[in-house]
Each structure stands twice: as structure tokens, then as C-alpha cells.
Chain A
């Protein structure tokens, strides 16, 4: 299961960040960390990117970027 597969409203806990290099560092810097709870808020009208809630703020990322983040569904 990865973050790109969650539907709007679904929550998940991050189990692993598969990205490497600058993309990984950027995600870490934005608070997308292992063990963090995230909620998918919205999907853009054209189907990509997605909006998630993490660390109590809104973050958008492309599905390609979200697909590298493994999650387990929590709600």
C-alpha cells in the first residue's frame, strides 16, 4: 500500500520512505517521516497531484512522489 493509493478522507501511517536523494530529503524536511500519520485530503481536478495533511498542515505532491511512500491504512 502506498500513499498514492489512498482515497480522499483516508488516513495512513507512513511505514517507509522509498525515495532517495533530494526527493527524500525534501520529504523529510517537510515532515513526511516514518511513523507519521497522514490524511489524504483531496485529489486535484485532473487526477494529479494530491493534497495531504501532515504535521497539521497541508502539503501537495504528485502521485509519482507519493507512490514512493509506503503506508498502512489506519482510518
Chain B
């Protein structure tokens, strides 16, 4: 009976869910390990209030629920970087049951430095000795039980890329979580003088601040106070009184004033001592692979050319593979889907404005979101590959000098170069930058990189006004953007982002081949997130824009629409720039949707009725969707092997403009056309980029700033071009 009652209890009262925080150095394979454990159950979000990514997953292991929380990768728990503060706050405030510390076993000493700090928290720690395959290949040997015994933790060799050791790791986690008293971390001896001071501070806190002593791990709190952690000093009010001064006098007399340095030395001392004892290395004398690759990749003469080739490849693969699929999605949405919706709405006798709202506002907006998905996927794939392989750090190393000159970080180069294709993936690519200052500044400059959608505008105007030297003029537009980005970078660094420039103390991790599974999971997460989060904003803006463009419904003359009125209203602003027609102003307004729309709006306003097409049948539509998808894939594949084709795009655009070409040549002069092109280059990010800013930074602030400075800069540059040109007697 008794047994039965106990069994009943066990069945009715499920065992407690264990919360497991996963910590570790960057480049120790932490995300691969998380991916291997959680797979698609992973939920990706942000830590509250910041742009640092937060991953979580709940697993079932041996009938128990484990809640994994991935902490940002950090080298330490010092309170200086955003990542470190997040990791520390989580550990101290949320009291996870177990900490899994993912350690790169081939780089034990530096990784153990973080372990030392984790142990100070008093929470059971399970170390994953990761990348153990490479460790064995190097001929290293480790005395695991010595490591476990001296630190009071569990250590399990793992190879996350192949899923090895994960069962054992979870078993150790379960064991430690269920019997925390048996897995208390050992208190390490940081040396007589330090320990005396620690004890004194602990006693003082116990007596004077008993509430703090229960809220925080005592030893950790004492160590933090010795380090003069500002936040804790404020909380305890110990910063003002003479107590800390007295408690540390003896310590400072013997070791100097910098107790932070003393503590770092003590922790590293423990890590180094333990590594010496537990780790056996055989001297192989063999040159490592990383060394061999770096000899070429970081070579004085080859370094930059190799970097440029790598960037060119990434750019080409992202946009050449992405674009045919983008065109296909676009084709399906503007073609068959729009026609079917129209047919459906006509069948139920819906009013014409509703048909237009549904097709242009909603379907158009949704199509717009989807067209960016292939680009986001491709970009994320390559960024993850660059980061996971270890080349990203080299790219930053090679380019830092040049980028630093304009106030940026070596890694800023990658978002900037992607910006030439499309600003949207470029904004997302800024996540490769760890420091928020670097990240925001890079994102602010990205819109100055002339994106692919601005090209049709250049092609149209150069074709009409500068036919003889069109390519030179287009090229000048790109250069103008780059030069202005340099100037704005320096300007921002001296004004809004004044102060200490962020550090460039960066590990160059060993080269490693990331697993395809890990790459795909990461890419998928990003793509999905974009679709849901950014998609919502884009759809909303798209519907708003529809109202702007189409109200009041049924006006015969475009001039009387809200857009036309708006165009007339703002046209005087462009008077000094040489293009004060309301048509041009209206076209610029619609350019917010997407820059290439500037051209089609001009076509609609300057032109006459668009020609009607014969509508294909439902069956033909379906067939066409399939055929064109096949074509898109084929093109994506063959593009990998062909060169970048700006020429084909140019030829395509030329035919379309035939009908309203004359009107445009009457309205513009070569000089005002040039001013208009420069204005289009600079004036503001498009709405999808706006959504990307909001999504990536969690605020509209940076989009607002990018738009504000863009408009001012655009106006000034166009003014200088037009008025300067007139002064030089180039006509106007």
C-alpha cells in the first residue's frame, strides 16, 4: 500500500523542471551544442530591452523537463559589455538550477577563466569539454577526475558537431540538478591576502546587509565588492563609507591599488595551475592548419586581395542566387495571385476600391515581404559561414585600419558591401558587430551604399540625358555614396557617438568547418523571424501607403489624389534643386515603398493609360508558376557561374520608358537630372529597410535619424550639384 501511495504521488506530482543556463566563451561551439540538443524546438527572441539574441528550448530527457537558456557567449563576467551584463544578471537573479559551461577543450586555460567566475556563484556547474575530437587529434590528454575533484564540478567530453557526449552531458546535468548539495562548487583559494579580505567583507555584509546576504551568493558578492563593481556599490551603499577602504588596505599595500587586476591574476592563476596538472600535451612540432591558412590569408600582399575576392563571392552568391527567386515570388504575387483575387472579389461584387486595396495594399505588401526572404536566407547563410569558419575575425583584422579611419570597425565592411545589393540584408548583417556603438553607426551609413533598386532610376535618367557616358555617371553615383559615407562616419563619430571608440581586442579563433545542420538551423531561424516580425511592419506600412496613393477614390486626375496634393505641397522645397514639378516630388514620395517605384510612378504620372493584357486562364497561371519556378532555380544555379549582369537590366529598362520619354526630357535638364539622381541616392531608406531597422534595433529611432540626415544630405548635395553647375555655366 505504502509503495502504491508513493507511486501515485510520483505520477500525480511531476518532478520539477530543471532550469539550465548554458554559458561559455565565444567560438567554443556553444550554439552548435544548443542546436544539437534542441534542434527546431529552439525559440529565438531578444533579451529584454537589448538587441542581444536570446535562445531557449525545453527538452524531455529521461522523462524530465529541462529548460535550456542560452546565455550570450562571453570571456568573462565583468560588467563592461552588454553580453556580460546579461549573462551575469541572469545567473544572479534567476538562480538557474545548473550551469552548463561549454569549454573549448583545445584552449583550456583561457576557457577555464570563465569557469572560475561561474564557480564563484555557488550554482552546480557541468563543464562540456567541447571540440573533443580536435583535442584528441592534437594528441592531448586530460585527467577529467582531477579537474572534477579540484573544482567540484562534473566534466563531460563532447563533440557537438557530431552529437557525441550529449547524452552523458544531460545525465550529468540531471544528476547535478537533483542533488545540488553533492555538487556544490569548491571554494578556490585565491591566496592568503585576498581570502582574508574576502572574509572580512563577507562578515560585514552579513551583519550590516543581511538582506543582500540572502539575495546574492556571499563569496561572489564579496569578490564583486572588492572589484568595486559600481552597481553593487550603489546597492550596498558601501561605496561611500570607509569600510572597503579599511578592509582592503592590507591587500593594497601588498599588491597595489588595482584589485581587479589582482583578482584576474588569481583566477587565471587557478586556471593555469589546473591546466598544467590536468592536461598533458605532446609536443608534435607540426605546424597547425590555422597557422598555414593564416600565412596566406593574412599575408601582407595577399591578405586584401583574398578578402576582396571573398567579399565579391559572397555578394555575388547572395544576390545572384537570391534574385531569380525574388523575381519569381514577385511574378507570382503581381501576376496570378493578383488576378485570382481580382476575379474572386469581382465574383462577390466587391467595390472596386476594395479590390484595389486587397490586391495592391495587402497582396502587394505580403509579396514585398516574401521577395526579401531569399535574400535574407542567403545573406544569413554566408554570414554564419564566415563567422563559424573563423574567417570573419580575419576579415575584420585585414580591414580594420581602413574602416577605423572612418570611425567604424573592421567587421563593418561586410554590411556596407551588402548594402550595394540591398540595404535590408545589410542592416541585418550588422549583427556581426558586438559593440552597440559600432553596430548602430554602421547601420546608419548603410543607406548611403547605392542599392540595386536605385539603379533603374540612374539607368532611366542617364539614358535620357547622358547617353554617351551613361556608365561613368552611374559609377559616379556609387562613388558619391561611398565618399559621403566616409564623411558622415567621421562626423557621427565626432558628434553623436563621441567618446572612447570601441575596443578591438578580438580573438582570432582557429579555422573550423561549421556543420551544414548548424548553418541551416541558424539561417532558418533568421528567415522565419524576419517573415513574422519585419513582415508585420512592412504589411502595415504597405496598406498605409495604399491609402496615400489611392485616396480619394476615383479621382480622374492624379494631380487631385492625396499623393498628387502631397507632391504639389512639397514641390517648392525642390525649387532650388532644379526639379519643382509635383510629378517628380510625388515619385520621390512613392520611392519610400521601394526605390525602383520612383521609375514606375513617373511612368504612371507622366505617361498615359497602361496597356491592357490578355488575362491567362487559371490553368495557364498554375502552369506558368511551376515553369517559372523551375526557371528561377535554374537561373539561380547558373548565375553562380556567370558574371554579374548589370547590362541586361539596363537594356530591359530602356524599352519600357519609350512612351513618356519625351515628357521627361521636357521637364528635366541634364543638370537637374543629375541633382535628382543624387537626391534619389541619398534621401531616405525604403520602408522594408525601415522595418529592418525597427526589427534589428527594437526602436524606430535609428530609422528616424537615418531619414533625417539622409534628407538633409540629399537636399544639400542636390543643391550643390544644381546651383554649382549653374554657376559654372552648365545651364539649368
Q: A residues bordering B, Cβ < 8 Å?
A: 17, 22-31, 33-34, 41-49, 51, 55-62, 65
Contacts and interface: CB of A to CB of B under 8 A. Distances in A.
B110 A31 contact: yes
A55 B276 CA distance: 12
Nearest to B108: A56
A22 B437 CA distance: 15
B299 interface: yes
Interface residues of B, number: 39
B168 interface: no
A18 to B, nearest CB: 11
A49 B80 contact: no
Interface of B: 75-76, 78, 80, 107, 109-110, 113, 258, 260-261, 264-265, 268, 290, 294, 298-301, 303-304, 393, 396-398, 400-402, 404, 410, 500, 503-509
B397 A60 contact: yes
A17 B261 contact: yes
Contacts of B109: 31, 55-56
A56 B107 contact: yes
A34 B78 contact: no
Contacts of A49: 397, 400-401, 410, 504
B260 A24 contact: yes
A4 to B, nearest CB: 13
A48 B294 contact: no
9 contacts: A26-B505, A28-B261, A30-B507, A45-B298, A49-B401, A51-B508, A58-B507, A58-B509, A60-B393
A2 B400 CA distance: 21
A31 B113 contact: yes
A59 B506 contact: yes
A62 B508 contact: no
Contacts of B404: 48, 62
Q: Which 7 A-B pairs have the closest CB atoms?
A: A46-B401, A29-B76, A28-B264, A58-B508, A45-B303, A22-B80, A48-B401
Contacts of A55: 109-110
Contacts of B400: 44, 46, 48-49, 62
Given A31-B113, A44-B398, A45-B304, A26 B508 contact: no
A67 to B, nearest CB: 13
A56 B117 CA distance: 21
Nearest to A31: B110
Contacts of A23: 503, 505
B294 A42 contact: yes
A17 B265 CA distance: 12
B299 A45 contact: yes
Contact of B261 (A22, A34, A61): A34
B261 A59 contact: no
A65 B76 CA distance: 19
A47 B401 contact: yes
A42 B298 CA distance: 8
Contacts of A31: 109-110, 113, 268
A51 B504 contact: no
Nearest to A48: B401
A30 B260 CA distance: 13
Contact of B508 (A28, A29, A60, A65): A60
Pick from A41, A56, A57 the residue with the most CB of B within 10 Å.
A57
Contacts of B393: 60
Contacts of A65: 503-505
A25 B80 contact: yes
A39 B396 CA distance: 20
A16 B298 CA distance: 29
A18 B301 CA distance: 33
B261 A44 contact: no
Given A24-B260, A34-B265, A51-B397, A44 B303 contact: yes
A44 B401 contact: yes
Given A33-B264, A60-B506, A25 B397 contact: no
A45 B303 CA distance: 6
A29 B298 contact: no
B398 A27 contact: no
Contacts of A57: 107, 110, 507
A44 B76 CA distance: 27
